């Protein structure tokens, strides 16, 4: 998955944490690149950005002593240690005027470790049948009723210019399609840009289209 900022860089949001909670408390985005080998092992690279604007707003609420989201190396090491078959290859962070940028590279031994990292809720799945594989990642099951007009308006103003994206690579030809929050085929959001089929498939769409998809949103990879 990835979040890209059209004008000045990349903003990312990771499915490792509940998407809506992260976004509306931190206004971040995510860039996720999944590489999968024929035996099911591979590498997961995540780049995500935390908006400095959101961080400043949080401090006004007296939360300056609390991290917006678990972003440090220790936080990631704690998460990785709970998942068998998952290892941290690298971690780094940097700051620029609009965002704080974090980069994490993880290596996984099997698809189950990948799924536990990306979606601890267990809604996502991977299946193999007749030498064909299908990986479904559910990011958001539905839009919470609490998202009122004022909150959405604020989110739109803060997230203007940011996109969400995801890339999947294998050594075989694969396809990518959009699903709803239950893994069923869904219409493609207006802002979505999809590259498929190929050994590298990808999707990118506006953050607000990602967050507010009426029936939820997911992505299906088949190879």
pLDDT tens-digit readout, 3-23 = 444 433 333 333 333 444 444
Of 182 and 64, which is predicted with more confidence?
Answer: 182
Q: Please state the rounded mean pLDDT for residues 132-154.
A: 74
Q: Per mean pLDDT, which of 64-73, 84-93, 155-164 is the most reliable?
A: 84-93
Of 80 and 209, which is predicted with more confidence?
Answer: 80
Query: Parallel, antiparallel, or unpaired for β 162-179 and 99-108?
Result: unpaired
What distance in Å separates the CA atoms of residue 82 and residue 183, rounded to the nearest whole number? 27
Is pTM beyond 0.85 here? no
Q: How far does the chain reach from its first CA to its final CA, in angstroms? A: 18
Which of these ranges, 6-20, 87-101, 163-177, has the smallest mean pLDDT?
A: 6-20
pLDDT tens-digit map of 33-72: 999 999 999 999 998 877 665 544 444 344 444 444 556 7
Neighbouring C-beta atoms of residue 89, cutoff 10 Å: 11
pLDDT value of residue 168: 98
pLDDT value of residue 97: 76
pLDDT value of residue 156: 65
């Amino acid at each position: 998955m990835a979040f890209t900022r059209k004008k000045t860089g990349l903003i990312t949001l990771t499915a490792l944490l509940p998407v809506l909670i992260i976004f509306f408390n931190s206004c971040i985005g995510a860039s996720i690149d999944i590489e999968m080998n024929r035996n099911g092992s591979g590498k997961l690279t995540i780049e995500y950005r935390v908006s400095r604007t959101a961080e400043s707003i949080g401090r006004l609420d007296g939360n300056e002593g609390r991290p917006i989201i678990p972003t440090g190396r220790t936080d990631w090491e704690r998460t990785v240690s709970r998942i068998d078959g998952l290892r941290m290859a690298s971690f780094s962070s940097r700051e620029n005027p609009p965002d704080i940028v974090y980069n994490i590279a993880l290596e996984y031994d099997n698809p189950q470790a990948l799924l536990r990292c990306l979606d601890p809720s267990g809604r996502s799945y991977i299946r193999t049948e007749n030498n064909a594989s299908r990986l479904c990642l559910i990011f958001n099951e539905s839009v919470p009723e609490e998202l009122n007009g004022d909150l959405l308006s604020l989110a739109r103003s803060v997230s203007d210019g940011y996109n969400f994206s995801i890339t999947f690579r294998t050594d075989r030809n694969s396809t990518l399609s959009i699903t709803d929050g239950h893994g069923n085929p869904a219409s493609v959001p207006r802002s979505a840009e999809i590259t498929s089929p190929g050994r590298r498939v990808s999707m990118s769409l506006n953050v607000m289209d990602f967050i507010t998809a009426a029936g939820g949103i997911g992505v299906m990879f088949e190879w």
